[in-house]
Structures are given as C-alpha cells and as structure tokens.
Amino acid sequence: MNAIVTGASRGIGRGIAKDLSKTHKVIATYLGSLEQAESLKAETGCEIFRCDIGNPTDRAALINFARGVFPEGLDLLVNNAGIAPRERLDILQATEQSFDELINTNLKGPHFLTQLAANWMLEKGSGRIVFVSSISAFTASINRAEYCVSKAGVSMSRLVYAQRLAPEGIQVFEIQPGIIRTDMISKVEKVYDEKIAGGLLPQRRMGEPSDIANVVRSIADGHLDYCAGQVIHADGGFHIRSL
C-alpha cells in the first residue's frame, strides 16, 4: 500500500506518517526543516520530498515523483500541510496578504493536489483521500479569520470531491482536529491547558498527534469505506453543543 502525507516533518503530519509507515510505503512532504524531514526518514524509512503545497509546479512535481516511487499506484492521500497566520490580527486589521497566503496553502493547495491524485487513482478505480482541517472550520476566531475561512473551504472541498469520486470507488474524508499538542500552538499551550481544565472539552485533555494518526489508520485500513464524505471530529468532544 502506498501513501502521500503532506506537511509530515512535524506535528500531526509526522504522527500520521510514522504510523502509516508500519504498513505503507510513504512519501512525506516537507517545506521548512530538512533536518526534521531527514530524521523522519531515518526513523521510518519514508521517502521525503520538499513541496510547497501552494505552488502548482511543486504539486505537479510531487505527483510525478510519486508515480516513479509508486508504479503500482497511489492508495492514500493525506492532505495535512497547512499554516497559521504569521501574526494574529483582529479581522478589522488583518491583511489581504495574509488572507491570500493562507487560502493558497490551506485551501487551494490541497484542493488541486487532490485533483491530481484523484485522476491518478481513477486509473485503477480505487483510493482514499483525507483532508485534515480543523475545528476552525466551524468555530469563529476573530484574530485569525483567514485561517477559519481557509478551513471552512476545505470542508466544502471534501464534500464536492466525495460526491464526485464515491461512484468511482474512491472515498473522501475530513478529519477536524481540535486542540492538538504541536508546535503550532506552543505559544498559547498554557492558555489552552487552563481552558481545558476549566471545562472547554468534555474529555479533559489536549489531543496528541497520535489521536489523529489513529483516525487516519482506521481510514487507511478500510474500516470506514461505507462512510463516503464523512467528517470525523477528533476534538475531545469540543463540537458537542450543550446547555
């Protein structure tokens, strides 16, 4: 079995790539630290490939590389790569530059990488595609609106691809992680810990990358193949509304 995991050198993506490497040949993409990517390769045997997911040339190069590594085809694409705003600004001061950067990386990138991967999967009539979005797809944060908008767009991308590809034997899913202990939240980790202890989450703990990897594992192993287009909340119960 063959898989591509984007944004896999750290955080959630690294956890996913480490778990999948137990059963799959994995191409793990990275953009920032080559050292982190090489340590993942040394630990797991994953192939690594530098890819700016927001760049169409890089996306095409990734698929061309994968075709060489996986002559028998692609079984799983995990769209995990994403970025947070460089600076958290109130929506009334946030810039178009930041908006464009996040839309390009978090939404346009995975949307069109999925197009390339789906057309490849159609050649053998099977495959699975995962979009890793966020609770920010349905939760408003006025100091990072561009992030929320990008993740809400990912939800619709999942829906349209799921509808188009399910008849072709390709299943599409979305995982919405909650507050996960990664370097993306390192600056506000203490604040989140306090909120969780105060009751923000029904399950009184922060999530770990392994929690998301476990959901991807269920998808990769085919346990959710009759759940086309499903959203999976991996958020400790954050999505539950209560009075």
Q: Which residues are catalytic?
A: 147
Would you tell me how many other CB atoms lie within 10 Å of the CB of residue 21?
20
Widest pairwise Cα distance in the chain:
54
User: Which class for 50: exposed (0-12), middle (13-18), buried (19 or more C-beta within 10 A)?
Assistant: middle
For residues 179 and 177, give the distance between their C-alpha atoms in angstroms, rounded to a whole number: 7
**Residue keyed to tokens 């059963």:** 23
Coil/strand/helix, residue 114: helix
Distance (Å, whole) CA 20 – CA 216: 8
Q: Cα separation of 113 and 157, whole Å?
A: 11
Alpha-carbon distance of 112 to 102, in angstroms, equals 15
CB–CB of 27/49 below 8 Å?
A: yes
